[in-house]
Structure formats: C-alpha cells, structure tokens
Structure 1
Amino acid sequence: MRFSQLPLGEDVTVWTLGRGGDAGFFRPVHPAVRIQVVPFPDGQPEESVGARILRSITTLRAAFDPTPYDVVHAQDCISANAAGPCVRTVHHLDHFTTPELAACHERAIVEPYAHICVSAAVAGELASGWGIEAQVIPNGVAYDRFAATDPAAQASWRSRLGPYVLTVGGIEPRKGSLDLLEAYALLRATRPDVRLVIAGGETLFDYRDYRARWEAKAAELAVEPVVLGQVGEDELPSLVAAADVFAFPSLKEGFGLAAMEALAAGVPLVVRDLPVLREVFGEAAQFASTPEDLAAELGHALASEDLERRSAGRALAARHTWDAAARGHLVFYRSLGTRA
C-alpha cells in the first residue's frame, strides 16, 4: 500500500476485490486515498467456501503488482496470500475446518515478514502458538461521530424500536449470536418491553446453517429480535447512541471496535469475559461468560445509571485515536528499514 497526501504526508493505495459489482467500500474513504478495485465476478451457486477462497486469492494475485510500493500491508488472510512478502495485521486467530481456508489462514500467519496485532492478548497467542513477535498497535475510534449524534435521529430510532439492547456484527458463530439469543429470552422474563436489535451485514463465509439454527432457536424461545441487516454509515452512530445497552458476546475478537464505538456514545457495555476484552475495556465494561450471566449483566445495565462507568468508557474511547494508530504504523514501517 502506498500512502497519497494524507494528513501525515504519506501516499496510500488500498487494493480490494470488488464483489458483486462493488466499485468501492461501504464506508467512505479519505478522498486522497487511491483505491484499486479488482473485479470479482460471482461464482456458480454450487461454489464451495473453499473454492471461493482460492478464486479470491488467484484473482487478487493476478492483478496486484507490489513493485511500486515501499510497504505492502495485508489486513486479512486472502490479501496476505495474494500479495507475497508483506506486513500482516493479525486481528484475531481462528480455527477453520474448511481445508482451503485453514491453509490460507496458516500461510497468512507464517509467511509475512512482520506482524502487527491490535491487542497484546492476540500478540501473546502469536508468540505462544507460532513463536512470532508482533508489534501491538491498538485500533482507533471515530470518537466524535459517536459522542455527538443528532438528537432527532436518536429519537427516531427510539420511536421505531422502543427500549433496546443493540449488537453490531451480524449473526455468526464468532459473534456468539446463539448465546445472546438465549440471554435475551432470559432477560424478557423481567424486561418484556426491551427489544434485541441486531445490525450488521453478511461476511464472506457461509453461515446459512448457523443462521437457520439461530432462527429455529428464536422460534423455540418465542422471541423476535429485530434484524436490521446492514445499516448506513450515516445512520449507525445514532442507532448506537440511542441504545439502552450494547451487547458484545463475541467468542473471538482482536480488539472490539464496535464496542469501543458504543463507549464513545456513552452507552453501557456488556462483553464476553475474554482476556482480550478485559485488556481493551477494563473497568469500562461489564463481563459475562454464559447466557445466564449475560442476561443478568444486561438487566443490571438496563436498571442502573452508572454514570461513573459511562464517563470512564467515554474517556477510554477518546484515548484511542486513529491519528495515534497511524503514527504507530509509520514508526513501525520505518523500523523495518529497506525490507519494507
């Protein structure tokens, strides 16, 4: 990637696959950043996840020329497999059963010549599992977007949804969606007025079986969460800020950006009790391990006005700036010398 007249004076080019005819990114990108979109035609209906992964790597590799760039930085296993020698950010570690995806994941860990992690917990997993030393550079958060949202937009969400528990990230195994569903059913015993609202789009992976299990469990529990799907970038901050509590029961995370955005908005936060989330959120969040714990902590957050915790959450989010993240990356790139 080459960084173009950004605030820190670097030139940046971002390469991506254009799936389904996409010509850019869902979220706006700084106008000075050059974007290279490689067309990626839809596959046949019977195309497996493994075949799609291999086709993604092959398509991006055929289009990408690394020679103009001082630093090539890959953010996922597909781009790391396609790019050749690169710096890799390992956001979190997964365990895949699809052979092609498992091999892609492994190569994207062992082949890059330098590594970044967004939390010390994940860097520790890299060190213990692969003997790899990674630089820790936490994510930033667009604090102002979530800390000062339009009151009318918030009121519109409240009018539409009533009181609600929000989660952002879609319905998938890594996000702990089934546990959250069970917790919501338990919560309704004391708070039948509260809705569970889920925002987030689909991922590259095929979670149709998991989604079917989730829908069957919702019917069994007689609950009807509100599934918004992908929410517009301009609408998301007010949706988050209008929530009564933000639930983040992920089973695997590298940092938890959506949860940090909720803290910026002053929304109480309940997260899975994972080492990485203890590291990132500390006293600004409440922690739960089981659906029963999660229901209890959500109920506690709904019933109490813990202004001290909310203030601590806002302060934590304000300290995580994208400027600091960008400067950390530049220092790291320069430490690599001619290899970068």
Structure 2
Amino acid sequence: MRIALLTYSTKPRGGVVHTLALAEALAAAGHDVTVGTLGRGGDEVFFRTVDPRVTMQVVPFPDASPDETVGERIVRSIEALRAGLDLSGFDVVHAQDCISSNACEGAVRTVHHLDTFTTAQLVACHDRAVLEPAALVCVSRSVAAEVLTSYDRSATVIPNGVDAARFTDAAGDGAPAVAARAAWADRLGRYVLAVGGIEPRKGTIDLLRAYDLLRTRGHDDVTLVLAGGETLFDYRPYRAEFDALVRERGIPVTELGVVDDPSLPALVAGAAAFSFVSTKEGFGLAAMEALAAGVPVVARDLPVLREVFGDTVAFAGDVDGIADALESALRDPADPLPGRALATGYSWTAAAAAHVALYDQLLDRSGGAPIGRIRSGAVPA
C-alpha cells in the first residue's frame, strides 16, 4: 500500500514524533510510506534521523514578516503544503494535524486533541479539519468522545505506540547510560523535568507556582528544568506572565530549549520527577516515555490521562495539588515497575497494524479509489 502521512513541521512536537514513528512502523511492515511536511526555519530534514525506507517530501517554508499574525501564518502554512506536496499515486493520504488536513480533501485525519480558538479564521480551520475528512482517528477514547459530542462524528481509536526500550535503556546500569545521566546531573543537579515549552496548554505557569511552593517547603536543592518550545502560536502574553513571576519571586528555572533527540532519553531518565500538567492532551506520549525510564510522573487530573495512565502516575488538579504530588514523588518515589509495564504494552507495530486495517476498510468502501488528495482550491476564508 502507498501511504502519505502529512504533518506540519520538522521540529520535535508530539504530533510530529507520532507521525515519524508511525511512518517507520508502516514501512517496516512492508508499505511504501512518504512523510510530507513543511521545512520551517530552513529545515530540509526532520529533527531526528528517519528510517531510510521512509520517503520525505519537505516543502520549503520561509520565515515571514514579524508582523504576520498567527492566523496568517496558519493559512500560509496550509497554502504552502497544498502547493508543494505531490500526492499523486497514493492509496491513502493521512493528515496528522489541522494544517495538513486543511491542505487536503477526503483524507484520513488524526485528531490528537481538540483545541479552543477565539479567532474566527482559526476556528474555521480547526472545524474543517474535523468535519471534512473521510475518516477520523483518535489516540484515546476520551478524545473520541469529545469529537462525537462536539462534532457528531465517530472516530476510530488507535492508541499511540511508545518506544519504551529507548527510555528504559537510558535508565539502565550500562556504562554509556550511566555516563549520559551523569552528564545531565553535573549540569543540572537534581531536577524536576517538563517537556513541551512554555505555553498555556502545557500548564507551565501552574508548574512554576507549584515549584515555588516546593522551594518554600525545603526543596530548594531541586532545579526546575524546561525542555522543548517550538510552536506555531503566539504565546508572548503568557510568556511575559511567566517571566514576570520568575522575576518577582526569584524562581530559578533552567530552560534547555529543543534538546537533541539522542540526548533526550538520558535527560528524561535522569530526572527526579516528571511534570505533565497539560490542560489538554490526547494521549501523553512524553509522560509514557518518562514511565518507561522509571521516573515518577505527576499529571493533570484529566479524563484522558486517567484513561491512559490509570494508577501509574500521581494526579493533581491545581497548583497546591501539583506541589503536593511533586513533593511526594521526590521524597518517596513510586514503584517504577507498573509504569514501565504500561509503557511497554504500547507498540508502534500494533498501532501500524490497526492503521492498515482502517485503511483497508476505507479502500474496500471506496472500491479501491484513493483516499485523500490535495485540496482542489484555495483554503476558504
């Protein structure tokens, strides 16, 4: 089967990580897979090495004026993908996000989570990307239920895979793993880690306030470390609020930015605790990787995270709760074995097989006609 998986960036965001892992698993199963994306910031390749069995289409996406609005950037992204991708000859086109979905017609779309926008242009793009695709996939039952309630559309639930061995190995006793963790410890000391950047959906300010409470309780020997940060959206007001709180309270924070992919497992495995206090999530891949590394996880108390993680993480609903859960994790870490077992149970091989079963159903229904194509006209206003 010839399959095109589409994403919006070459940077290490959750949807991009998902797309690459799924593409590699599909290629390993013998399918002809191409990943199409935008080369942001001059990128010509993805943030990590990709299995050579996967073909790449990286569409150039030059930087624009600093005055470009988020809405304008989104529409320009959609139009760049629409103009730059060659989707001829594919049996199935599968868009992994709102941007790539809007560049297509009649494709499959994975809804990782539902967003909330206030700008009419962004609301329209978001809604089209749920209402127009030929079929929807969600990575959890909770998100599928939200889609059904909000849009009256049913989705096939296919959980993420997890590259658990990569993170379990990083926590192991072998000399390379020990040295890699020690290098982070030398640089950071003992640390609480969050991955994903400083943005409202990640709940970063709640984490900052919780960490400030920890310091007042005698945990000032623990560093707060933030990794990641690439995003399409303009979070400058949120960032300004974060920075103001850091200054006013004198809170020490270490920002690493985007961490090289080979270095990430050791960074995760070396953490004393992992914070995952997002206000919206679809599955929680980063937290699952932390569990695979044996690191205690504190997660926002959301239905989707209750569904995915069960009792393998500590849940918290507010700043005080996050501080309490982090303090417990630091003082008396939970048994890592149940979390590791959970993470190991999710495989990209199984995820790929479930996707192929869906693709086969759609092709049977269409009589073999291709599923998905480039949008025939410009994106509607």
Superposition TM-score tier, normalisation by shorter sequence? over 0.9
CA contact (8 A) 2:181 2:266 kept: yes
Q: Indicate the SS of the match to 1:139.
A: coil
Q: Indicate the SS of the match to 1:226.
A: strand
CA contact (8 A) 2:192 2:271 kept: yes
Cα drift, residue 40 of structure 1: 1.0
Counterpart CA distance in 2 for 1:271 and 1:305 is: 14
Aligned partner of 1:189 in structure 2 is: 216
CA contact (8 A) 2:57 2:85 kept: no
Residue 259 (str. 1) matches residue 259 (str. 2)? no
Cα drift, residue 103 of structure 1: 1.1
Cα drift, residue 208 of structure 1: 1.6
CA contact (8 A) 2:161 2:348 kept: yes
Aligned partner of 1:44 in structure 2 is: 65
Residue 144 (str. 1) matches residue 165 (str. 2)? yes
Q: Indicate the SS of the match to 1:171.
A: coil
Residue 337 (str. 1) matches residue 363 (str. 2)? yes
CA contact (8 A) 1:64 1:83 kept: no
Q: 1:130-184 deviations in whole A, cap 9, x for unaligned?
A: 1111000011111111001111000111121111100000000000011000000
Cα drift, residue 67 of structure 1: 2.9
Counterpart CA distance in 2 for 1:43 and 1:156 is: 38
Q: Indicate the SS of the match to 1:6.
A: helix
Aligned partner of 1:102 in structure 2 is: 123
Question: What is the correspondence of 1:55-94 to structure 2 with a 5 Å cutoff?
Answer: 55-94=76-115
Counterpart CA distance in 1 for 2:256 and 2:281 is: 22
CA contact (8 A) 1:265 1:314 kept: yes
Counterpart CA distance in 1 for 2:42 and 2:316 is: 41
* Superposition misfits of 4+ residues, deviation over 6 angstroms: none
Counterpart CA distance in 2 for 1:25 and 1:211 is: 26
Residue-pair matches, total: 338
* Structure 1 unmatched ranges of 5 or more: none
Aligned partner of 2:376 in structure 1 is: none
Counterpart CA distance in 2 for 1:6 and 1:79 is: 21
Counterpart CA distance in 2 for 1:114 and 1:38 is: 25
Q: Indicate the SS of the match to 2:261.
A: coil
Cα drift, residue 98 of structure 1: 2.3
In structure 1, give the amino acid aligned to 2:210.
Answer: A
Aligned partner of 2:350 in structure 1 is: 324
CA contact (8 A) 2:74 2:99 kept: yes
Higher relative contact order, structure no. (Cα contacts within 8 Å, ≥ 6 residues apart)? 2
Residue 164 (str. 1) matches residue 185 (str. 2)? no
State the TM-score, normalizing by the size of structure 1.
0.97
Residue identity (%):
56
Aligned partner of 2:245 in structure 1 is: 217
